[in-house]
Structure 1
Amino acid sequence: MCVFCSIVKGDIPSNKLYEDDMVIAFFDINPTSYGHCLVVPKEHCDSFLDCPTKTLDHVFEVAQKLANVLEEKLGCDGINVLTNIHEAAGQSVNHFHVHLIPRYANKDHDSVTIEFGEIEKVNFEDLLSKVK
């Protein structure tokens, strides 16, 4: 059984922030920032790609509510909303989940680094032909 399914069942303790009949949210055991939490559907799905639409809708509805709470109560300067799909993208638990990562100008509370760079020029016609 996956670790998140065990948390959902109550077999593994968590620092629960929110729970309803479809999702559970808890603070990340290895946070990258102060207040980093996860929103996890109770129904097991491996990733965003195979999660039922109804479940996705509810996960993101709860994520939005919790992001507002984190911003108001923790006074963070921003929030990253993140999900990883497959190991190459950083998924370490094969159970869909959304990270809410509060961001702070004060780096004592925030060890996250996200860098955006440029790749070689893209032929958009070619790219569109591949994905349409």
Structure 2
Amino acid sequence: MADTAYDPNNIFGKILRGEIPAHKVYEDEHTLAFMDVMPQGEGHTLVIPKAPSRGLLDAQPETLAALMRSVQTVARAVKAAFDADGLTIFQFNEPAGGQTVFHLHMHIIPRREGVPLKRHEGGMADPEILAGHAARIRAALN
């Protein structure tokens, strides 16, 4: 069985501590949203709680409530910023569930009719493109 303890040295923990840069789009007291560096579509954004939670099952209810408020706020901005027909929102738990970073996070991906998602392992996106996408989402938040 996999180790299910929270490891504060995961990449999202490092982003929260400012040890690794991220293209941030939204932040409040409890959450942070930033661009996924391996996007499955234009505008693919992640929202994470600041509280240390490995996944959905170990998060405190208050953490989940704050996370979902931010997911809704950011999702509205992502949809508007990319003039999307809809959104796909993912959340994975543990390796068997598809989780690869063991800090609770939600994926928000704007969708257009007939355009399939790219593979998540498709490589790192151009940082300038991510910066532009982040700016579009921040503008839609205002």
TM-score (norm 2): 0.74
Larger Rg: 1
Does residue 78 (structure 1) correspond to residue 95 (structure 2)? The answer is no
2:64 corresponds to? 56
Structure 2, gaps ≥5 residues long: 1-8, 120-142
SS of the equivalent of 1:65 reads: helix
Does residue 67 (structure 1) correspond to residue 66 (structure 2)? The answer is no
2:117 corresponds to? 111
Mapped partners of 2:95, 2:40: distance in 1:
18
The percentage of aligned residue pairs carrying the same residue is 33
What is the number of residues matched between the two proteins?
A: 111
Alignment partner of 2:26 out of 18, 22, 38 = 18
Mapped partners of 2:13, 2:82: distance in 1:
28
Q: Deviations over 1:33-57 (max 9, x none)?
A: 1100100011111100010111100
1:27 corresponds to? 35
Structure 1, gaps ≥5 residues long: 114-132
TM-score (norm 1): 0.79
Question: Deviation of residue 111 (structure 1)?
Answer: 2.4
1:45 corresponds to? 53
Does residue 96 (structure 1) correspond to residue 126 (structure 2)? The answer is no
User: Which consecutive aligned stretches of 4+ in structure 1 deviate over 4 angstroms post-superposition?
Assistant: none
Question: Deviation of residue 91 (structure 1)?
Answer: 0.2
Q: Deviations over 1:84-104 (max 9, x none)?
A: 011111100011001111111
Question: Deviation of residue 70 (structure 1)?
Answer: 1.2
SS of the equivalent of 1:35 reads: coil
Question: Deviation of residue 28 (structure 1)?
Answer: 0.2
